[in-house]
Amino acid sequence: MNTVIETENLGKRYGDVVAVENLSLRVAEGEIYAFLGLNGAGKTTTIRMLLGMIKPTTGTAHVLNTRVSLGSQKPWASVGYLVEAPHCYPELTVEENLEVARRLHPATPPGAVGDIIEQLRLSPYAHRRAGNLSQGNLQRLGVAKALLHNPKLLLLDEPANGMDPAGIVEMRELLLKLTREQGVTVFMSSHILAEVARLAQRIGIIHNGRLLQELDIDELECNRRRRLLIRTRDIQTAQSILLEAGHDIEVLQNRIIAVKNGYSFEHSDDIASLLVQGGAPPTELILEEEDLEQYFLRLIGVNGGQNE
Amino acid sequence: MNNLWNMLWVELRKTLRSKVPQLTILGSLFLPFGIGFLLFIARNPEISRKMGLITAKADLMRVTATDWPSYLTLSAQMVAMAGFFFFCLITSWVFGREFIDGTLKDILAVPVPRVTIILAKFAVSAIWSSMFTLVMYVFILIIGGIFNLPQGSLRVIWQGSVLIVVTAIMTILVVFPFALLASIGRGYLLPMGAAIITLILANVAVIAGWGDYFPWAVPGMYTQAMLPSGDSPGVASYWVVILTGLAGIIGTYYWWKYADQSR
């Protein structure tokens, strides 16, 4: 499969502040790649470097097989993007803002403006001044500008930001449709991790400017922490039984025993039998599976990911 | 060429939809009406006596704008000074608004060459400044006619028109570097602050005898050309003005092309 985005030791420093460091990533054609990180992790700086808006201090970036440099014209005819908050000319209408975007991509036919207005359900607002739009519709306008010229690659910074739940679902379906039907590649950053889990095929986690991990969504399944939580009246006995049977356990707050090995998660019935036979029957068994949010927080070492 | 037309369309549409051009056109009306008002006061001493501070200005009018040549010279000076401020505002708005509105990022990674975008912006700044001058000039003629100033021959009006047009062109050119300041300062404050300092420096330069080589003093010095005692700046001064305009365009282009754009 072709590589659409490739960076090699990409880095950006502002004096002593390291915004991005040694970032090497590859995004394959037709995939949805989610770029996760806290605020200030370096996501937007990376996207701006990929778009040739910021000059990297180190390394190189290639987009659609073109080396990115400041002020270059290639390959932007095939790239659509939405960086940070969507901005527009407030005194122009939605239609006029899109016409401006169309003229910035001269190969785009005039009919594309009407089509994208319909596709993004902006028809009721087409003649409304963009300055009077709600945050959600402003976001739609931003996405419409990115999609207007049928790009092969979409770079989207928080595409569902400010959208209502219906809008988020709509955005997800639109992106999935674009990748499945038109082979569009999507590189997106998002804070809505549940959304990323549903959408992305590949995930890159960035923290303090460094790429901590890159993994497929299938790998995430394997890496996610799973454990069996046991509540029992006789915690001491239960503990001894489980340790004797060779299980990796931990006693949590509220007198709950966490069995951390994968076997326990797959064979909770065996654990229950073991405890019953040993005289410490469980009163409650809970199968706990780490979600992307907890996995992300655990990886970057923030407390929310500790599950305790 | 198609790209340039497209970008001109874009810039003109943004400009025409904004309230800023309307406000600057109002400003252009204010200048001739201001001169007219002072002429009226100067010609009516009984009103003049009742008006305190304005009297001093009106007396100045009586001395400086007694006939068409001096009236047109005064109007050209208005273009060189007040026009300079308005042209700065126009250019700062055309360039600085992309930073203020956060729309800069949308015009950076596009298949249209950045030089085309920059040239369209300069073209619209120049067109808009010219419209400002044209509206102002029409009202200058109307007001001069109403006051029935002496020595209003066709030749004098033509000379005065050339004076105002050349002053406006030179003023537009020396304002181009303020586009660079709007880009560096990411808005209007830096160029407008610099405009005030520049006008002060222009006066200092003239007093010190360096006016011929200080680009922002040249348009003002040129306005004296029509007066009997007036002296036109030398050829070098016109080159200084042209090179300043070019430096503004080239500097802005390189800034937009090579500076990190993190907004």
pLDDT digits (tens, 9 = 90+) for A236-278: 999 999 999 888 888 887 889 999 877 777 788 889 999 999 9
Number of domains in chain B: 1
A174 vs A156: CA distance, rounded Å? 13
A239 vs A250: CA distance, rounded Å? 9
CB B113 within 8 A of CB B1: no
Residues of chain A neighbouring B96 (CB-CB closer than 8 A): none
Per-residue pLDDT, B52: 62
- The pair of structure tokens assigned to A160 is 């569902």
Minimum CA–CA partner of A85 in chain B? B102
CB B223 within 8 A of CB B76: yes
Residue B45 domain-assigned? no
CA distances to A98, A101, B101 from A122, rounded to whole Å, are 11, 16, 21
Alpha-carbon gap: A255 to the closest alpha carbon of chain B (Å): 51
Residue A220 has pLDDT above 80, yes or no: no
Residues of chain B neighbouring A144 (CB-CB closer than 8 A): none
Residue A308 has pLDDT above 50, yes or no: no
| Beta-strand relationship, A185-189 and A32-36 | parallel
Confidence class of residue A307 from pLDDT cuts 50, 70 and 90?
A: very low
Range A234-239, long-range pairs (CB < 8 A, 24+ positions): A234/A279, A234/A280, A235/A280, A237/A278, A237/A279, A237/A280, A238/A275, A238/A278, A238/A280, A238/A282
A3-221: CATH topology is: Rossmann fold (3.40.50)
B16 vs A168: CA distance, rounded Å? 36
Element spanning A275, H or E: helix A268-277
Q: B158 vs B51, which has greater pLDDT?
A: B158
Note the Cα A170 to chain centre separation in Å: 16
pLDDT digits (tens, 9 = 90+) for A144-176: 999 999 999 999 988 888 788 888 888 888 899
Least confident range from A82-86, A263-267, B194-198: namely: A263-267
Confidence class of residue B48 from pLDDT cuts 50, 70 and 90?
A: low
pLDDT digits (tens, 9 = 90+) for B6-34: 999 999 999 999 888 888 888 888 888 88
Which stretches within B44-153 are classed as H helix? 45-50, 53-64, 68-78, 84-100, 114-146
What residues does CATH 3.30.70.100 cover in chain A? Answer: 226-289
Q: Closest partner residue to B13 among A85, A92, A101, by Cβ?
A: A92
Q: Name the amino acid, one letter, at A184.
A: V
Least confident range from B66-75, B92-101, B153-162: namely: B66-75
Note whether A54 contacts B262, CB cutoff 8 Å: yes
Residues of chain B neighbouring A90 (CB-CB closer than 8 A): 101
Per-residue pLDDT, B250: 97
Alpha-carbon gap: A96 to the closest alpha carbon of chain B (Å): 9
Element spanning B160, H or E: helix B154-175
| Mean pLDDT, chain A, integer | 88
Alpha-carbon gap: A147 to the closest alpha carbon of chain B (Å): 13
Confidence class of residue A50 from pLDDT cuts 50, 70 and 90?
A: very high
Note the Cα A105 to chain centre separation in Å: 28
Q: Which residues contact A58 (CB under 8 A, 6 or more apart)?
A: A9, A10, A11, A22
Q: Closest partner residue to B10 among A77, A90, A103, by Cβ?
A: A103
- The pair of structure tokens assigned to A214 is 């890159």
Note the Cα A68 to chain centre separation in Å: 23
Residue B208 domain-assigned? yes
Confidence class of residue A219 from pLDDT cuts 50, 70 and 90?
A: confident
Residue B231 has pLDDT above 80, yes or no: no
At residue A66, the 3 state secondary structure works out as strand
Residue A117 has pLDDT above 60, yes or no: yes
Note whether A84 contacts B258, CB cutoff 8 Å: no
Note whether A90 contacts B101, CB cutoff 8 Å: yes
Q: Quick one: which of B25, B127, B95 has its CA closest to B256?
A: B95
Domain containing residue B204:
2-27+69-257
Confidence class of residue B43 from pLDDT cuts 50, 70 and 90?
A: confident
Per-residue pLDDT, B256: 92
Q: Closest partner residue to A106 among B6, B107, B256, by Cβ?
A: B6
Per-residue pLDDT, A8: 94
Residue B263 domain-assigned? no
pLDDT digits (tens, 9 = 90+) for A128-148: 999 999 888 999 999 999 999
CB B172 within 8 A of CB B126: yes
Element spanning B244, H or E: helix B235-258
Residue A78 has pLDDT above 90, yes or no: yes
DSSP letter, residue A93: B
Q: Quick one: which of A225, A261, A267, A260 has its CA closest to A275?
A: A267
Residue B227 domain-assigned? yes
Residue B211 domain-assigned? yes
Which stretches within A43-125 are classed as H helix? 43-50, 94-103, 111-119
DSSP letter, residue B147: T
Note whether B111 contacts A76, CB cutoff 8 Å: yes
Least confident range from A104-118, A188-202, B78-92: namely: A188-202
Residue B58 domain-assigned? no
Residue B64 domain-assigned? no
Q: Quick one: which of B115, B105, B117, B99 has its CA closest to A79?
A: B105
Q: Closest partner residue to A70 among B10, B112, B258, by Cβ?
A: B258
Residue found under tokens 């036109």: B232
Confidence class of residue B56 from pLDDT cuts 50, 70 and 90?
A: low
What residues does CATH 3.40.50.300 cover in chain A? Answer: 3-221
HSE (CB half, 13 Å, CA atoms) of A29?
11
Alpha-carbon gap: A220 to the closest alpha carbon of chain B (Å): 33
Q: Quick one: what percent of chain A has pLDDT higher than 70?
A: 98
For the A226-289 domain, the top CATH level (class) is alpha beta
Note whether A54 contacts B10, CB cutoff 8 Å: no
* Sign of the CA dihedral with B95 first, then B101, B105, and B108 last: negative
At residue A77, the 3 state secondary structure works out as helix
